[in-house]
Amino acid sequence: MINKTVQNILQNKYTNALDQKQKLLEVVFLAQELLEKYQLPECEIYFLMHSNFRGICYNSGEKISLQIQFSINEDMEEIRNTILHEIAHAIVGNENGHNLVWKKKALELGVRF
Ligand SMILES: [Zn+2]
């Protein structure tokens, strides 16, 4: 099954440039791999066109969004770090914000600060 975000990439919703589309697919696959690894198969990845944030976690892990320009331009290591940051939110719940509970989980996942 092709998810909505992959479909959007293939239909040029974010960019027409082939190298940028390949990068976005790579980002989605990395995110899906990490979501599986941390047992969040229900969580969906979206791209945001206009956002001041690199990533956002909604409703305690129902959905994670990544900023589109960040996803296109940043290197995979930095993107992986942002995805793990949001996954830590998804695991401990958004009510924890960036408190010690979240930070402990983030460190456990290998998030760099
Ligand atoms: Zn955060």
pLDDT at 59: 87
Contact of 79 with 30, CB cutoff 8 Å: yes
How remote is the CA of residue 83 from the centroid of ligand 1, in Å? 10
For tokens 């696959």, name the residue.
29
CA of 30 to the centre of ligand 1 (A): 19
CA of 3 to the centre of ligand 1 (A): 25
The per-residue pLDDT for 94 is 93
CA R_g for the chain:
14
Q: What are the average pLDDT values for consecutive 10-residue runs of the chain, which has 113 residues?
A: 88 97 97 95 92 91 94 98 97 96 98 95
Q: What is the pLDDT of residue 32?
A: 94
| Per-residue confidence (pLDDT) for residue 1, from 0 to 100 | 54
Global pTM reads: 0.95
Q: How far is the CA of 11 from the centre of ligand 1 (A)?
A: 30
Instruction: Compute, in angstroms, the gap from residue 71 CA to the centroid of ligand 1.
Output: 16
CB atoms within 10 A of CB 65: 20
**Centroid of ligand 1 to alpha carbon of 14 (angstroms):** 24
User: How far apart are the C-alpha atoms of 39 and 53, rounded to whole Å?
Assistant: 24
> Which CATH architecture describes the domain 4-107?
2-Layer Sandwich (3.30)
